């Protein structure tokens, strides 16, 4: 199968490598000429996946039309806040009439749209059946190193999910399927907020008890918002919920946990972001999730605490103190 992967960051490159190694003819689109030239000449993405060779049947281009014209299937791995620009400009969405598997995680700022809602708005209801969403515990570097990984793919056209699974499935990468698109998307978005929270606690050296509490009560928050939006509760017990949450909140490769860790150690958000080359989706998602919860009347206390630390300059210890001072309640 001919596949185009849109986005040459760490996850896009890892997915391009995975599908190429599965025998597909893969063309990776990069918005950066320097990245594309480096991949072409060195067979390596030294910025995002250093020291990991890329297969010869993985091509690279900076021509978006060339990428989508190549494709019988598209894999999208662009940052959430760039999706509208990438697909909404130059009538690009109208040119795409093949299945599209989205690996972005987050909530769009201002509109508060989940990624699935954003793609549906851009592409239109008539193309909804072509949209699939990949999420779950999957660090790009570990995928690229062929460490055993299991993820979930959600789709509106459930009858086509087995064919989409086959594209990714191999001896080290296992793809499960579900019809719960909203649950998968919400789990993938909010786990990044909780990773910032656990990172803050770790930066403050508050110990394992605190980390476990944040992860567990964070899952309760995700499920609470999910119920309001029509997700299936059991989705949050699976790979796209608890699985991704645990990985992102505890793994050293987590960009969002790293942001929280440095905040807890006293750095400002501006200082942290100036040092990072990769996007920490949890930062804009925190603001979007907080505003969405306010609009829907859903109580998300950990999300609110992270929001006030990131955007209202609230000291981290004060936010923790406020959380612990909340009234007692049944679990």
- DSSP annotation string for 246-298: HHHHH-TT-HHHHHHHHHHTT--HHHHHHH-SS--THHHHHHHHHHHHHHHT-
Per-residue pLDDT, 12: 98
The CATH topology of domain 2-181 is Rossmann fold (3.40.50)
Residue 209 CA to its chain's centroid (Å): 26
Please list, residue by residue across 71-107, b when 16 or more beta carbons sit within 10 angstroms of its beta carbon and e when fewer do: bebbbbbbbbbebbebbeeeebbeebeebbbbbbbbb
Distance CA 87, CA 67 (A): 13
The helix-helix angle for 282-296 and 181-203 (nearest 10°) equals: 120
Q: How far apart are CA 305 and CA 316, in angstroms?
A: 8
Predicted confidence pLDDT, tens digits, the chain (331 residues): 999 999 999 999 999 999 999 999 999 999 999 999 999 999 999 989 999 999 999 999 999 999 999 999 999 999 999 999 999 988 899 999 999 999 999 999 999 999 999 999 999 999 999 999 999 999 999 999 999 999 999 999 999 999 999 999 999 999 999 999 999 999 999 999 999 999 999 999 999 999 999 999 999 999 999 999 999 999 999 999 999 999 999 999 999 999 999 999 999 999 998 888 777 899 999 999 999 999 999 999 999 999 999 999 999 999 999 999 999 988 8
Torsion sign, CA atoms 49, 174, 167, 69: negative
Q: How would you class 110 by CB atoms within 10 Å of its CB: exposed for 0-12, middle for 13-18, buried for 19 or more?
A: exposed
Contact 150, 158 (CB under 8 A): no
How far is residue 271 CA from its own chain's centroid? 23
Which token pair is 250? 């505890």
Asked if 308 and 318 touch (Cβ cutoff 8 Å), the reply is no
Topology classification of domain 188-324: 1.10.1040
Instruction: Spell out the domain ranges in the chain.
Output: 2-181, 188-324
Tell me what pLDDT residue 277 has: 76
Beta-bridged to residue 151, according to DSSP, are: 175
Report the distance separating Cα 205 and Cα 211, nearest Å: 10
Active-site amino acid positions: 191
* pTM higher than 0.75: yes
* 8: CB partners within 8 A, 6+ apart: 16, 28, 29, 30, 31, 32, 35, 36, 39, 45, 48, 60
Annotate 109-140 with DSSP letters as a single string: TTT--BHHHHHHHHH-GGGGGGEEEEESS--H
pLDDT of res. 276: 82
């Amino acid at each position: 199968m001919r596949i185009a992967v849109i986005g040459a960051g760490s996850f896009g490159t890892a997915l391009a490598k995975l599908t190429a190694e599965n025998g597909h003819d893969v063309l990776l689109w990069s918005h950066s000429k320097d990245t594309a030239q480096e991949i072409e000449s060195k067979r390596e993405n030294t910025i995002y996946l250093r020291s990991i060779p890329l297969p010869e049947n993985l091509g690279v281009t900076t021509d978006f039309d060339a990428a989508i014209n190549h494709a019988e299937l598209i894999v999208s791995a662009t940052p959430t806040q760039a999706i509208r620009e990438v697909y909404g400009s130059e009538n690009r969405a109208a040119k795409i009439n093949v299945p599209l598997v989205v690996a972005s995680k987050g909530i769009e700022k201002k509109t508060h749209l989940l990624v699935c809602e954003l793609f549906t708005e851009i592409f239109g209801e008539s193309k909804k059946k072509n949209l699939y969403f990949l999420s779950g515990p999957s660090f790009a570097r570990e995928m690229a190193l062929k460490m055993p990984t299991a993820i979930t793919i959600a789709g509106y056209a459930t009858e086509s999910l087995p064919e989409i699974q086959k594209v990714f499935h191999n001896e080290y990468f296992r793809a499960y399927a579900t019809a719960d698109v909203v649950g998968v998307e919400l789990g993938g978005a909010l786990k990044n907020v909780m990773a910032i929270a656990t990172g803050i606690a770790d930066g403050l050296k508050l110990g394992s008890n605190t980390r476990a509490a944040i992860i567990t009560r964070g899952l309760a928050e995700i499920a609470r918002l999910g119920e309001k939006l029509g997700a299936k509760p059991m989705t949050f017990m699976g790979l796209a919920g608890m699985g991704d949450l645990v990985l992102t909140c505890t793994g050293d490769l987590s960009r969002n946990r790293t942001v929280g860790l440095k905040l807890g150690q006293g750095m400002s958000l501006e200082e942290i972001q100036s040092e990072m080359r990769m996007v920490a989706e949890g930062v804009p998602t925190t603001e979007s999730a907080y505003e969405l919860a306010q609009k829907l009347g859903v109580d998300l206390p950990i999300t609110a605490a992270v929001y006030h630390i990131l955007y209202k300059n609230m000291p981290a210890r004060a936010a923790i103190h406020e959380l612990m001072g909340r009234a007692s309640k049944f679990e």
